[in-house]
Structure 1
C-alpha cells in the first residue's frame, strides 16, 4: 500500500490536466510491458518496430533503463490543463543539466550503460538536445495519429470531474477515480505491490488521465516540479477497440428505452453522430434523433471541435449513465 498524505485542505490545490509527455512516457511503459492487456495489439504492432529503430536510440535508452526508473524531468507536472507538446518540451529542455545527468544515470545504476547514456555525463547539453529531438520524432510516429482521440477521452474526463465538483462539492473530484485508489480523508491510498509513504511537501497534486496507463496508477512523488498521479480516464478502453454495441443497465434501459440508454452509456466518451451510429449500428438519422432527444432532456450536450460536433454527457447524464462504465481493454 502506498500512502500519499492528502488532507481536505489539499483539495484546493488539486488539478486535472492532460499531458502529451505523460502520454509519451506511459506509452513507452506500455510497450515495455509484457502484458498484452495494456493496449490494443494493432497499436503495439504498428509502433513496436518504430520504437526499436536506430533513430530513437537515445530516447529508448533513457526511458527503458534496466532499473525501471524513468527520469522525472521528462514529465514535468503541467501548470495548465491542456499543455501542448511544444510547451512541455520547452520545460524539459530547460531542466538544469546537473539534474538531467543525475536522473539519466539513475535509470542505469548498477548496469553497464550504452554510449547514448554515457554522453549525458560528458555532454549533458548535447544529450538533452538529442533526447528532445527524438521525443518529437517518437510523438509524430507513435502518438500523433491517435492524439485527437486521446485528447477527446481526456477532455471528457476533465469535463466530467469539473461537473461532479460543481454539483457535489470538491470531494467528488476523487470519487470513483480508479479502483486501486481510495481516500480516507487524511491520505490517498494506492493498492500497490510495494509500501511507501509520501508527502506533497507543499506542492499541489496534479491528476493526469492518460490513455496508456492501462490498469495501473503511476505516482510521481519526488519531482521538484510537482506531485502527480497518472491514471486511465473513463472510457479509455474505447480508444483501442470501441465495442460494436453497448449494453446499458436494465434500469436505465427501462427508463429511457434500450437504444437511447445505449447511446447515453456510449457517451462516457464524447462521440459524433456518425460514431454513435457506427458503434450502435444505427442509421445516422436514427442516431441523430436519439441524441437530439437526450439533449432536449438535458442529459447530453453538443460541443464543436473544429468542423466536428461531438456529444458528451451533462452532469445529470453522468448521474444516470455513470452507473455503467465501458470496460477497459482486457478486463
Structure 2
C-alpha cells in the first residue's frame, strides 16, 4: 500500500533549505541500480537508452557480482534501505563518500540492517556485515565504486547537466521566496507547513530547525527518497525535471542549431553510420558528414570505427540537448 512522506517545516527551517549544486554520486549509483532492475516499459523514455547500455556492459562477471551484492542491500522495491549506504559526505564526491562508508561504526551497521530486516528478509551474509565485518564492508564499498565507474561515470556529463538544469530552473522562482520554490517540486505538494509526496510507507520527517538538503537526481523517476534516521542530516532526493519534449522543444533546438543539423542530431537516437543517417533523412552523405563534424566538435556526438564503417552515437551532452 502506498504511503505518504510528510516533511514538517518550522519557521527556522526556511533559513536552512539547501539545493545540491551538483549530482550526488552515491545516490545516483543506487538509483541507477534501481533503474537497471526495472523493466524498460516501466521507465520514462530518457532512462531507457542508459539502461540498454548498462545491460550491454554487464558482460563483466565482476560487475554482475557487484550488482548482486548491492541489490541484496538496496533492492529497487525496498521500502527502506540502510542510510549508511548514502552518507552525507557524498556531496563532496565519491572518494569522501566511500571513506565514510568504509568507516561506518559497527553499532550503526547492526542498527540499520536490523531496521531493513523489518521490511524484508535479508540474505544470510548480511549477518556478518551487521556484526561489523570490515572486510565485507570494504567489499560493499568496492561494489559501489565498480558500479559507478563502469555504469554511471560514462554518462556523468548527462547526469550533471540534467541536475544543473533542474537546480537553475527551481532557483529562477526564488524571487517569490522559499515556498515558491518548494511549490515547484512535483510530485511534492505544499500545504503550509508540510511538504508531502507519495512514498512506499507512511513517514514523517520533522526538520526541527535544521533545514533540509534537496538533491535532484537523474535516475530517480518515481517517488522521492529521504534519509530515514531523524538524527542524521535531513536529505531528500527527488526526480530532476528533464528537458521539454514535443514540437516546441524541436522548434527551439532548430533555432539554435538550424533545421538540418537538428534533424541529423535527432537521427542519432540510435547509433548510426553516415550513410544510414543520410538515407534515413534523404540528405546527401557529404552534407550529413559536414553536420556530423560540427556536432562532434561541439561534444554532442562521438564517432568510432567499427570494421569498414564509422559509427556515430550521441554523447551525454547530446542526449540531454534533445531530451533523451
TM superposition score category, shorter chain reference = 0.5 to 0.7
How far the C-alpha of 1:64 sits from its partner, in A, is 2.4
Picking from 142, 149, 159, the partner of 1:140 is 149
Q: What CA RMSD, in Å, does the superposition of the two structures yield over aligned residues?
A: 3.9
Q: What is the aligned partner in structure 1 of residue 315 from structure 2?
A: none
CA distance, structure 1, for counterparts of residue 102 and residue 154 of structure 2:
24
Q: What is the aligned partner in structure 2 of residue 60 from structure 1?
A: 71
Q: What is the aligned partner in structure 2 of residue 199 from structure 1?
A: 206
Q: What is the aligned partner in structure 1 of residue 192 from structure 2?
A: 185
CA distance, structure 1, for counterparts of residue 74 and residue 17 of structure 2:
27
Contact 2:266-2:322 within 8 A present in 1 as well: no
Equivalent residue pairs, number: 267
Q: What is the aligned partner in structure 1 of residue 248 from structure 2?
A: 248
Please state if 1:74 is matched with 2:85.
yes
Unaligned runs of 5+ in 2: 268-280, 282-286, 292-296, 301-320
How far the C-alpha of 1:138 sits from its partner, in A, is 0.7
Contact 2:70-2:143 within 8 A present in 1 as well: yes
Moved more, 150-159 or 48-57: 48-57
Contact 2:189-2:196 within 8 A present in 1 as well: yes
How far the C-alpha of 1:55 sits from its partner, in A, is 4.4
CA distance, structure 1, for counterparts of residue 159 and residue 172 of structure 2:
20
CA distance, structure 1, for counterparts of residue 221 and residue 120 of structure 2:
29
Question: For 1:61-105, what per-residue CA distance to the aligned partner results, in whole angstroms no more than 9, with x for missing partners?
Answer: 22229854211111123585xx32112222222322211232234
Please state if 1:26 is matched with 2:37.
no
Contact 1:58-1:134 within 8 A present in 2 as well: yes
Question: For 1:223-252, what per-residue CA distance to the aligned partner results, in whole angstroms no more than 9, with x for missing partners?
Answer: 53312221121216x8xxxx6xx4229xxx
Picking from 4, 7, 10, the partner of 1:4 is 7
How far the C-alpha of 1:139 sits from its partner, in A, is 0.5
Which structure 2 residues correspond to residues 37-48 of structure 1 after superposition, within 5 A? 37-39=42-44, 40-48=47-55
CA distance, structure 2, for counterparts of residue 327 and residue 308 of structure 1:
14
Unaligned runs of 5+ in 1: 250-257, 267-273, 287-306, 311-325
Q: What is the aligned partner in structure 2 of residue 228 from structure 1?
A: 235
How far the C-alpha of 1:328 sits from its partner, in A, is 8.7
How far the C-alpha of 1:186 sits from its partner, in A, is 0.8
How far the C-alpha of 1:276 sits from its partner, in A, is 9.7
Which structure 2 residues correspond to residues 161-310 of structure 1 after superposition, within 5 A? 161-165=170-174, 167-178=175-186, 180-192=187-199, 194-222=201-229, 224-235=231-242, 246-248=246-248, 259-260=251-252, 278-279=265-266
How far the C-alpha of 1:209 sits from its partner, in A, is 0.7
CA distance, structure 2, for counterparts of residue 87 and residue 142 of structure 1:
20
| Cα pair distance change 1:89/1:263, threshold 3 Å | farther
Contact 1:203-1:227 within 8 A present in 2 as well: yes
| Cα pair distance change 1:200/1:111, threshold 3 Å | closer
| Cα pair distance change 1:123/1:195, threshold 3 Å | closer
How far the C-alpha of 1:117 sits from its partner, in A, is 1.4
Question: For 1:212-233, what per-residue CA distance to the aligned partner results, in whole angstroms no more than 9, with x for missing partners?
Answer: 1113222224253312221121
TM-score by length of 1: 0.66
Question: For 1:154-197, what per-residue CA distance to the aligned partner results, in whole angstroms no more than 9, with x for missing partners?
Answer: 112222333332x333333213221x211122111214464343
SS of 1:212's equivalent in the other structure is coil
